[in-house]
Chain A
């Protein structure tokens, strides 16, 4: 720590912030991103579209977890209901495509659309509004009550989708033709992967920028010591609520892309298993770390793919890994690979 304490503090000689270096953390992060970009491109060139699609899936799960990480990791709000936003984003994409295909209108009013430039903002708007509603109520509580109330809200959304026959009910809703982005062929696996990759990078860049801003400073303080935040003159509640809404919007956009990737959206995207899966990924990767969700998604999808091919009980090994991480590597895979963050 001595290198963090500047020695000279003469008048006018402001102690400077210690310089930032790329270091091990930066290197590990760069390598992770580069591999995520290069491997699918190589797979595509070698004629293995299956792996490209797998990479898209990984990228979108990571992006959904980036959204959750903003609430859970950076904000300390343990939401056990983020599947609600993941699924709602998916349903916006699915319902838009359904009406565009049938040339009908949503609830007899809104025409359908298969243009992603329309569907994405719509998915984010819908998720933002839902999160505003859920957050406004849930954030009145904390701790275990917050976990349970977010779960309860997500279950309400789940059962609602389950019992709405117009959009497939429990059978789900197929998307026959992937939604369109002007000028790009979204049916091409590599093109679609690159869209997902751009989404993930944008979500991570936004998170990084947000957490470095004044808002991020307030959110960090809300997590670490909300008494200090209030005493300083900032009410923690609106800070938490805004970050909860942004978190849901990121997860919702990932959900919209995920539905398009699979050509299918069903209540399983809204189920509490999904919420749990996202939480596991955030915790595996490293809570409140920018690259944690990506690292967690890599580990999760790898185990699912490699062990899932050997045994249908692969989640036993996932459970053991999670146990190991929680007991021995509190800072997750990223903590183990790249060392601790400068400030907890």
Chain B
């Protein structure tokens, strides 16, 4: 068994009487796409917030590359190689697409307190950013302001931003949200091609995409992982059919 790049160990998070995350453990191995699915209100967003660092778990550990990151800030986790995309795009609208990507390259280089040298034309920032954009099929839109990009292009740009950070693990929060069947198929193909570069923890509603992409699927219901396995196992699991697929 390949070593886990990202591991959650016994995460708990409670809001009053509600157990939003109830003893969740899962791993992400190198070279795989691991999908996390679950009906609305299952606690997916809460779990993502804990992995990304905007929410602290009440108990449990999060490890990235074997190193504990449970107590680190969002920025510190990102610097250690956790890339993420958001369910609702979070980009700087007035800036050209590439400036959104360059900030990740810059952060990775660790040189954000340089006050003098011009950054906007620095090839050490531009070239990796363009490479990440090209990876997501957006090189021709590099200098277009985000506000002028289509919805599908923004979804892809979010992934490009994460890729530019040279992440060890990617956390993609419903990357297909709001895409039509065509856009969804296109993004599925792009993600497929990323698999060997960086393992992906994929939170997604689009079942077609999930079954096509993911080696392993975990099903989250009411804060608990109720089933875990490959696509066929999940499809046949009566509990899952009951809680989710058959709804």
Contacts and interface: CB of A to CB of B under 8 A. Distances in A.
Interface of A: 1, 4-7, 9, 14-15, 17-18, 209-210, 212-218, 220-221, 224-225, 227-236, 238-239, 242, 343-344
Contacts of A238: 113
Nearest to B110: A233
Interface of A (DSSP majority class): helix
A219 to B, nearest CB: 9
A212 B99 CA distance: 12
Interface stretch (B141-149, B185-193, B207-215): B141-149
Contact of B75 (A14, A17, A213, A235): A235
B92 A224 contact: yes
A229 B103 contact: yes
Interface in B86-101: 86, 90-96, 99-100
A1 B148 contact: yes
B84 A6 contact: no
Interface string B34-63: 000000000000000000100000000000
B96 A343 contact: yes
B115 to A, nearest CB: 5
B27 interface: no
Interface residues of B, number: 52
Interface string B195-226: 00000000000000000000000000000000
Contacts of B75: 229-230, 232-236
Contacts of B245: none
A123 to B, nearest CB: 20
Nearest to B77: A233
A231 B74 contact: yes
Contacts of B91: 225, 228
Contacts of A15: 130, 139-140, 142-143
Given A1-B144, A221-B103, A239-B112, A212 B118 contact: yes
B117 interface: yes
A180 B31 CA distance: 69
